[in-house]
Amino acid sequence: MVSDQLLKPATPEERRRYYREEWDVKDIPEFISNSVQKREFGFDHMGRGPNDRYKVFRNMDLLRKFLRYRAPFAAYSSVAFYEKPQRRDGWIKSELVFDVDAKDIPIRECGCEGVCEVCLNQALEIVSSLIDTLKGDLGLKDMYVVYSGRGYHLRLFDESVMTMDSDVRGQIVQYLSGAELPRNEYAAEGVTYKLEHFTIPFGYPQVFTDRTRYAILHLTTETQLDEVNQKLLKDVIKNRELLEDNQWGIFRSKIGPQRYQKLIRSIASLNMALVDAKVSIDLKRILRLPSSLHSMVSMKCTEVKNIETFDPFKEAVPKFVYERKG
């Protein structure tokens, strides 16, 4: 079974075979190749992290020769564009990136210790919901999804976001994640109205409702939430099918108003971990190079052309895995 041979480290010989027999420089997406001269590249040759940094390639052929000859354990490129990438000097702009790692999803159905098909599917569901919000709420369009080997990178190239500083990027992460409780009091003509988040079908309240629904529908009896005891957790799981039909008011009444507030406060705190905020706010981050080998798990870092049909266990498996002996 191929699945039995995956998620195991690639040997040096397998890495050499991959880069010399299977990998093609044309597999690197255009959003990298079109800006290769402006990016910093980094490499991990021994499986100890990317300590070979500040590499620059004048063209794709030089990058091709380097990867073919060195067959690194891992290859990376910067999200930043520089005037002098060999010194990371003269910053021009950076991609806005959202990193969804399957092993770090705050509420996982699988309970596995690493990554598996179930949590990778969950990660892709989260990426899909982020895309919907980015397009629908923020009007962003120029984006790409890359399977990283253990999760997904959502990479944005809209000019309006590429020059944003770290603080603004952090605010976008909070908005997308549903990491803050939306306000529930609104004033008009001297009158104050109290509205629950699920009664407002647009803007941040809608985002928070969507993220909260997703979290509640994926809770397990083993999930630990700060303000949620076992009795409340059991009641939530017992009644959560109401949320599949958006019957939030009935769900809230069955849980109880005070306990419901504890629940959504806990969910908001948990939602911040949907994406790795450190990656999103880091203007000089390096990410795995699409088409390169994630040697720790023997899978290809692969651009996702169709998010609806992508299957990493079919599209991101190098040929040498099929030839391994059990």
**CA-CA distance, 299 to 318, in Å (whole number)?**
6
Q: Are 131 and 154 in contact (CB under 8 A)?
A: yes
**CA-CA distance, 65 to 256, in Å (whole number)?**
64
- Which residue, chain included where needed, has tokens 């895309």? 131
* Catalytic position from the list 89, 104, 142, 276: 276
Residues 6+ apart with CB under 8 A from 296: 9, 47, 73, 74, 149
User: What are the strands, taking DSSP E only, across the chain?
Assistant: 41-44, 52-55, 74-78, 80-84, 89-94, 96-101, 143-147, 151-156, 185-188, 191-194, 286-288, 293-294, 299-300, 302-304
* Catalytic position from the list 99, 142, 158, 235: 99
* Catalytic position from the list 24, 101, 137, 311: 101
Q: Are 99 and 73 in contact (CB under 8 A)?
A: no
Query: Catalytic: 61?
Result: no
Query: Catalytic: 44?
Result: no
Backbone angles phi, psi at 293, to 5 degrees: -95, 130
**CA-CA distance, 309 to 42, in Å (whole number)?**
31
| Own/partner long-range contacts of 82-87 (Cβ < 8 Å, ≥24 apart) | 82/38, 82/39, 82/40, 83/38, 85/37, 85/38, 85/39, 85/40, 85/54, 85/56, 86/40, 86/54, 86/55, 86/56, 87/54
Query: Catalytic: 101?
Result: yes
The CB density around residue 106, as the number of other CB atoms within 10 Å, is 16
Closest to 304 in 3D by CA, of 176, 152, 82, 195: 152
Q: Catalytic amino acids? A: 99, 101, 276
